[in-house]
Amino acid sequence: MAQPQPEAAPATGQLDLAGEFLDRRTPLSRVRSVLHRYPAISPAIVLVIAIIIFGSINDRFLYPGNLSLILQQVAVVGTLALAQTLVILTAGIDLSVGAAMIFASMIVAQTAANNGLPGVLSLFIGLLAGLAAGALNGFLVTRLRLPPFIVTLGTLNIFVALTLLYSKGATVRGAELPDVITATGLPIAIGDVRITVGVLMMLALYVLLAFILGKTAWGRHVYAVGDDKEAARLAGISVNKVLMSVYLAAGAILAVGAWIQIGRTNAASPNAGVDLNLDSITAVVIGGTSLFGGRGVVWGTLLGAIIVGVFRSGLSLAGLDVLYQTLAVGVLIIVAVSVDQWIRKVRS
Amino acid sequence: MTATAPAARPTPTVEPILEARRLVKTYGRVVGLDGVSLKLYPGEVLAIIGDNGAGKSTLIKCLTGAEVADEGEIFLEGKPVSFKRPQDARTHGIETVYQNLAVSPALDVASNLYLGREQRLPGPLGSVLRILDTKGMRLRATEELKKLGISTLQDVTVPVENLSGGQRQAVAVARAAAFGSKVVVLDEPTAALGVRESNQVLQLVRDLRDRGLPVILISHNMPHVFDVADRIHIQRLGKCAATITPQSHSMTDAVAIMTGAAKA
């Protein structure tokens, strides 16, 4: 009297259908969500392709000497771009970062060369100058609630003027400075590659900041503030405290940048680095950090800074006029921001 | 003798967990709250309804520290308290899910659950190097979601921006439920949700009440309110027009009181 068992297949068939329905993603959108999750991938791909192309155009591009030169050229911009990354992660922007760095470098050089202070003390005063610059920006952004763009546009001009007033337009040569201040320019040989103390310091700062942003509550709060300020506030984060600490940290980092700059050029010049503000933003943007805040990693910024260096070096070794380097960097920026916009569509 | 769900006339033995007395809040010449009193009893869902501009959100903001009332007092378990910031209410065990969903889209589910109260690793790694206990927070977040019966969130490492509206709401409610030790406040939790997702959130509200947590629920949706609420506080023109129960009044009555067409 056994009756034939009804087949259970229809139920599972329906489930499969539902699963298929949920995972209706094209390969392209899958690529997009991977890029969205790991913002450093796109600059890494660009860098590898650029190195392959420039290396095949001119053998000398891949010489250890040339690669180490690129790193040395990147050291100052790379350090400033790290400060810039912090600010941009909070959905701000710091136009004054280069001017503040030159200001700090002139204070270090002048107090050592003209006032005869010991090198270490001069460097410490330079650090205080960087922190003061960051505190001013942070105060104006958090207390007066002005947009960071306007605040730093103002302080950019203030720092440029203060630098020229303080230094009277005079350059301090490396020979006039204590050894500790120019030590950042000392070469270190690793095999055939010769890098400088300044390059190592920059890399150390990246490791430090990657750790802090990735592993501590403060780092998570920086992302949360940049992502959605109101949501961060309602979650119990003190938004103003986070913003203030970000600008102070940027000030400390740019003071280290000032030290690296003096070693790199073996001088402190009030007219140096007029483009450093924009170059640092360029590195951050090419590195995949979103100008809208909350998304990006410091390693992307390092790659972005190196990409700019690689393009400049590669194009000049390819025998192209220096103007084409600028043109290429301009195209890179627009492509990078377009890619960022595309990646951000994952949200909707 | 004691009622399971305290009616409009509570028995004197039950003390309210949260009580507001004669709250007044003005914005310039606009009166947001005009002497509103409210009592929340243990283990109940209190709904707050009212037309737009009736003062629902203002009332909630004053109770949770997002705004400070100009006049009036707030008592928590009989003791007077004053909340200057959302954090103050939170440290007293009052958790709020705001209408605009206070989640951080780029951060993952676990980070959002612990946002603003991250836990560090034990020992010097946590106290000196201040390293977050990411693994532990993820484990506990998974546990917490399981405890609340939220099955739609399997993977706590997914960024919140990849979730649907209902799942995001579940994250926000889960955060409130996980840390709210005394009161959970939900501001329009079903406003942006579909039918199925709304039902999940309403079930969450019942689960919270059954675990003993009193819930304040603000909603425009009458069927939802009459579905889960034990008592209903009706705001009208900055005042409390009436406090009713789903048993004592119909939805039509409630709408009539809300719009001023009838008195309680």
Confidence class of residue B39 from pLDDT cuts 50, 70 and 90? very high
Please report the residues numbered 64 through 123 in chain A whose beta carbons come closer than 8 angstroms to any beta carbon of chain B.
Answer: none
Residue B21 included in any domain: no
Higher confidence at residue A247 or residue A313?
A247
Residue A268 included in any domain: yes
Residue A26 included in any domain: no
pLDDT mean over B152-165:
82
pLDDT of A347: 52
Query: Is the confidence at residue B1, as pLDDT, over 80?
Result: no
Residue B94 included in any domain: yes
Query: Is the confidence at residue A289, as pLDDT, over 60?
Result: yes
Contact: A231, B103; criterion CB under 8 Å: yes
Query: Is the confidence at residue A22, as pLDDT, over 50?
Result: no
Least-confidence region, from A285-289, B97-101, B224-228, B241-245:
B97-101
Query: Is the confidence at residue B10, as pLDDT, over 70?
Result: no
Residue B71 included in any domain: yes
pLDDT mean over A203-214:
96
pLDDT of A70: 93
Q: Decide if B33 contacts B25 (C-beta within 8 A).
A: yes
The sign of the CA dihedral B133, B139, B142, B146 is negative
Please report the residues numbered 225 through 284 in chain A whose beta carbons come closer than 8 angstroms to any beta carbon of chain B.
Answer: 227-228, 230-237
Contact: B131, A216; criterion CB under 8 Å: yes
Residue B255 included in any domain: yes
pLDDT digits (tens, 9 = 90+) for B192-202: 777 877 888 88
Residue B237 included in any domain: yes
Higher confidence at residue A87 or residue B203?
A87
Q: CATH number, domain at B215? A: 3.40.50.300
Between A and B, how many CB-CB pairs are < 8 A? 72
Number of domains in chain A: 1
pLDDT digits (tens, 9 = 90+) for A32-75: 878 887 888 889 998 999 999 999 999 899 998 899 999 999 99
pLDDT of B14: 81
Contact: B130, A216; criterion CB under 8 Å: yes
Q: Is A295 on the interface with B (CB under 8 A)?
A: yes
Higher confidence at residue A96 or residue A8?
A96
Closest CA of chain A from B134, distance in Å: 8
Residue A14 included in any domain: no
On average, the pLDDT of chain B sits at: 86
On average, the pLDDT of chain A sits at: 88
Cα dist from A6 to A9, A13, A14, A15, B17, whole Å = 9, 15, 16, 18, 56
Confidence class of residue A6 from pLDDT cuts 50, 70 and 90? very low
pLDDT of B11: 52
Would you list the DSSP string of A20-59?
HHHT---HHHHHHHHHHH-TTHHHHHHHHHHHHHHHHH-G
Highest mean pLDDT among A210-214, B26-30, B161-165, B251-255: A210-214
Interhelix angle A64-89/A276-286, rounded to 10 degrees, is 90
Confidence class of residue A1 from pLDDT cuts 50, 70 and 90? very low
pLDDT of A205: 98
Cα dist from B49 to B25, B184, B221, whole Å = 18, 17, 9
Query: Is the confidence at residue B29, as pLDDT, over 70?
Result: yes
Query: Is the confidence at residue B158, as pLDDT, over 80?
Result: yes
**Cβ-based interface (< 8 Å): residues of B facing A:** 66, 86-87, 90, 96, 98, 100-107, 111-112, 115-118, 120, 129-132, 134, 159, 161-162
pLDDT mean over A108-135:
96
Confidence class of residue A5 from pLDDT cuts 50, 70 and 90? very low
Testing the interface with B: which of A29, A211, A220 to mutate, by most B Cβ within 10 A? A220
Residue B58 included in any domain: yes
Number of domains in chain B: 1
Contact: B115, A294; criterion CB under 8 Å: no
pLDDT of B201: 83
Confidence class of residue A348 from pLDDT cuts 50, 70 and 90? very low
CA distance A43 to A286: 7
Confidence class of residue B116 from pLDDT cuts 50, 70 and 90? confident
The sign of the CA dihedral B167, B168, B173, B177 is positive
Higher confidence at residue A24 or residue A210?
A210
Testing the interface with A: which of B104, B109, B164 to mutate, by most A Cβ within 10 A? B104
Contact: B86, A237; criterion CB under 8 Å: no
pLDDT of A346: 62
pLDDT of B101: 67
Q: Decide if A251 contacts A244 (C-beta within 8 A).
A: no
Residue A301 included in any domain: yes
Q: Of the candidates A221, A227, A234, which has its C-beta nearest B98's C-beta?
A: A234
Query: Is the confidence at residue A12, as pLDDT, over 90?
Result: no
Residue B118 included in any domain: no
Higher confidence at residue A4 or residue B60?
B60
Residue A12 included in any domain: no
Residue B178's contacts (CB-CB under 8 Å, 6 or more residues apart) are: B113, B144, B148
Query: Is the confidence at residue B6, as pLDDT, over 70?
Result: no
Residue A9 included in any domain: no
Q: CATH number, domain at A163? A: 1.10.3470
Confidence class of residue A11 from pLDDT cuts 50, 70 and 90? very low
Query: Is the confidence at residue A244, as pLDDT, over 90?
Result: yes
Confidence class of residue B100 from pLDDT cuts 50, 70 and 90? low
CA distance A17 to A8: 15
For residue A322, the enclosing domain spans 33-347
Closest CA of chain A from B111, distance in Å: 8
pLDDT above 70 coverage of chain B, percent: 94
Query: Is the confidence at residue B25, as pLDDT, over 80?
Result: yes
pLDDT above 90 coverage of chain A, percent: 66
pTM above 0.90, yes or no: no
Which residue is it, tokens 């579905």? Answer: B227
pLDDT mean over B125-152:
86
For residue B242, the enclosing domain spans 32-107+163-259
Residue A18 included in any domain: no
Residue A146 included in any domain: yes
